[in-house]
Amino acid sequence: MKIAVVGATGLVGTVMLKVLEERNFPLTELIPVASEKSVGKEITFKGKQFKVVNMETAIAMRPDIALFSAGGSTSLKYAPLFAEAGTTVIDNSSAWRMDPSKKLIVPEVNAYVLSIDDKIIANPNCSTIQMVVALKPLHDKYRIKRVVVSTYQSVTGTGVKAVEQMMNERKGILDGPMAYPYQIDLNVIPQIDVFESNGYTKEEMKMIKETRKIMGDESIRVTATTVRIPVMGGHSESVNIEFENDFDVADVKALMASTPGIILEDDIDNLKYPMPKDAHEKDEVFVGRIRRDESMPNTLNMWIVADNLRKGAATNAVQIAEFLVKKELI
């Protein structure tokens, strides 16, 4: 089992390697891939050293699976070349997510749609992944009509440069690299990605469109406001969900507690609720603050937190790979 990690030296690629090691993924050969400037560098995996190679070398090695985290333009160019060589690509960029010919997968939600013919599989946006993990069991039981989500997203979602900007600002260094147009420390920026003609950001539209595609239900109405906040560890979401059918709050909590991949943290008497610092380096989606929306019938409020570099990116991609291996789809 040959596994290529494309973008192996980047923030998400590094976490992919860590997750592959932690989960003891059954690979026999690792192929770390990065840009030409990183070729020849060595990375450590399970105590062994592996040299970084370029795209052409990796394609010629014909890996069984390629985990991509190298940006949309890179994926558009190289994912089809890997696929032509017989490799199954699991891509973490936005390049293929809304392509009607490509599957958009969160294993807990819709892995069953995958087949041996799927050679390029899209990994969803980080903020969408954690939300749909919680939405799926609720939709199955109560039928979701509408979702209103506001996000509180970690600087790690932007990348190394954003982390550096925030840490510099905390040290009083204000002339360092800028990932954002404004200071992020001690601030909140209500913009993630570029604005589109409808006034929504690209990130907000990703959540709207991806949620419907993953859930397999275009009738679900979604509206989103995505916000960058000066934290590490993970993304948080305030989610308001309107159902066709009524629910009992205790039943909703029991359903969340029994759903694989979810950890319920909802004990307000002891001030227990999910926070990004507690989700850091965890693979699960944490859910809490579950309560009825008293302003609307059949409507629920909840709080969802997950590590955006793990479940929101690397772990979800590795879980897709695990499913392919388990079901012999490669």
At 17-58, the pLDDT tens digits run: 999 999 999 999 999 999 999 999 999 999 999 999 999 999
- Same-domain status, 92 and 212: no
- Same-domain status, 201 and 239: yes
Q: Which of 159, 168, 146, 141 is nearest to 297 (CA)?
A: 146
Q: Look at the pTM and tell me if it is higher than 0.85.
A: yes
CATH number at residue 248: 3.30.360.10
Note down the domain range covering 188: 127-307
Provide the pLDDT for residue 225. Answer: 98
Provide the pLDDT for residue 220. Answer: 98
- Same-domain status, 146 and 113: no
- Please tell me which residue in 8, 53, 67, 126 is annotated as part of the active site: 126
- Same-domain status, 11 and 60: yes
Residues 6+ apart with CB under 8 A from 295: none
What percent of the chain clears pLDDT 90, i.e. is strictly above it? 98
CATH number at residue 42: 3.40.50.720
At 48-62, the pLDDT tens digits run: 999 999 999 999 999
Distance CA 322, CA 241 (A): 31
- Same-domain status, 147 and 286: yes
DSSP summary character for residue 95: S
| Active-site annotation holds for 139 | no
Provide the pLDDT for residue 182. Answer: 97
Distance CA 220, CA 58 (A): 41
| Active-site annotation holds for 235 | yes
Residues 6+ apart with CB under 8 A from 274: 236, 263, 265, 286, 287, 288, 303, 304, 305
Three-point CA angle 313, 318, 323, nearest 5°: 130
For the chain, how many structural domains are there in total? 2
Provide the pLDDT for residue 213. Answer: 98
Q: Which of 297, 284, 299 is nearest to 252 (CA)?
A: 299
Would you report the helix, strand and coil content of the chain in percent, each value rounded to 5?
Answer: 35, 25, 40
- Please tell me which residue in 139, 206, 213, 235 is annotated as part of the active site: 235
- Same-domain status, 92 and 111: yes
Whether 33 and 4 have beta carbons less than 8 Å apart is answered as: yes
